[in-house]
Chains A and B, each alone.
Chain A
Amino acid sequence: MIITGTHQILAIDLLKASTPDGAAVDAFMRDHTFPIVEGTKVTFVFRGDAESVYLKTWVWGLDNSQPLHRLENTNLWYLTLDLPRKSRFEYKLEVVRGGHGQWIQDPLNKHRAIDPYGANSVVHGDGYVVPSWTQRDPDAPPGKFEQWVIKSKAFNERRDFLVYLPARFRKTRRYPLLFVHDGPDYLRFANLGTVLDNLIHRLEIPGLIVACSGTANRFGEYMNDERHARFVTEEAVPDLEARLPLLGTPRGRCLMGSSLGGVAAFSTAVRYPGFYSRLLLQSGTFTFTDLGNKSERGELVVPIIKFMNRFRENPTLVAERAFISCGMHERNIYENRSLVPMLQSTDMEIRYVESRDGHNWENWRDRLREGLAWLFPGPLRLVYE
């Protein structure tokens, strides 16, 4: 990037101005890493024969399909967008050939994020770095996982989940319990196991016992389902507290979840006020309406709308402390922003954090340190080696 006065000249502008031939494009490709991040601008590039190429994103407020422009007399396609500092978003490219569009990961970008639907390419804005505590630290001793089985009366079937026991686990100690919705996804896509190992090793959180629960029926059970709240509160937690050295007090219990999992965590706490003192809610789908129960999101979210509208009419204190995070690039931002003052009005202590990111697992991963350390401060202030 060249700066003349207040005007930025981007790499792609220089290329365009040179009326490049194939050799010049080859050199351009060789000399840059892609996408090209220059200050607060990002240029996406695709090289290949196609009828058209589109950038596909899930950034709320942006058109989720934007055409790349073809550089005249070349097979190079490009699109420049604003990219605020420290932001991060996921995308794919749609390449149209023979009238048929194919969604692909950006072949020029090595950064990928995986999620339950596959993988996306990721662009990192200037200043964004993958937090070191999300990556395996060879000095951090790993915790252990145990398979846990509950014969659930609420669901009238057997439920399995994983339980994380911290390194140096001792039966003579008492630990707080973190109950995680979509636990297997948090482990796989948000490195939850590694994050716990590292934060415990760094003394930023205490040793925690973590129940990583999941369901194949998120769109039923995670949408304010009475059976789910009963399963967690009357079956799973008492069983864990009976068989593991847990604190067994409200302050020693936390519910966590993202997206619909956030709704499951929050609605469970609402059904059992005071039982859980801590909540960690990430990008919760807290859909509500001010009139009627219809939303542009369709019929699927009606149970959530009914639940949230009821809560909004009469907000009550359900837990002592909640950490709430949401990405600025996701549609849930409006609902999360609305939830915060409402919960504060009940005297709940809230820490609310927004990030320049979207509705995805790496956004939720990147907020875990601040959330967990605020809800369960570790012995960092007590240990001086």
Chain B
Amino acid sequence: MVDKPRSFQEIILRLQAYWAAKGCAILQPYDMEVGAGTFHPATTLRALGSKPWAAAYVQSSRRPTDGRYGENPNRLQHYYQYQVIIKPSPPDLQELYLGSLAAIGIDASMHDIRFVEDDWESPTLGAWGLGWEVWCDGMEVSQFTYFQQVGGHDCKPVSGELTYGLERLAIYILGVDHVMDMPFNDPQTPIPLTYGDVFRQTEQEYARWNFDVADTKILLEHFEHAEAECQRILDMPAHDPKKDMQIIMVHPAYDQCIKASHLFNLLDARGVISVTERQAYIGRVRALAKACADAFVQTDAGGAVA
């Protein structure tokens, strides 16, 4: 019998321990609002270039349009993804992945685990890959992707990326019906907390703000500023006169790209972006992502030969 975790956090801790044991660097969440764990520079940028890489981390992810005031059993505007990225993708990545499911209490002999075609594409990142959504008893528990291109660059070697939707996975493993009822910490502790204790109120607050209150004029201005700053940073000469060395400021520029992307999502949730404009906005964010990717491959971490 598989030893089942008892709380949301225990699932996270077990994933951390498992992937650490498999040799991944356990990173911390990126300190910015992103739509998915993929936006973390540890994935987007590190998937580029020739240097081997292995990392795993939790990333809080925001999807303003998915807000349901905390009422839907598993749809949230703020949720957590667990992200694993290994470059080059190892030949036994599927087995490693299934091992991680066992580690968090999914006994493969009792469940129906399947790899169902799902090609991944991020128009805002200029990225795509092939892979699957992984189903456990009909529920999508992970996204499994072999990156082929990021920021318009071919991925050579190819990174294998795993993304776990933590809340949905945990609801299932812990056997609760509603995300808000899920134990966040151990139910046996003196102060047991549910997911709802931690996030119900914030879901309501953000849903209201996202859908009805966010000042779209200000958001639009922020978008323009982020876009301009990203370009300005990348336009700076690589040579830093003060230190008299090459410093290409990819990450500060990429931060602005992330900001622009999230602002676009907020504007989208407010319903102020028309279908025609939508494509234009996505194109603008993609241009930033591409410029960051172009810059990253000029750097040491991006595999450039000095």
Q: Do A and B bind each other?
A: no
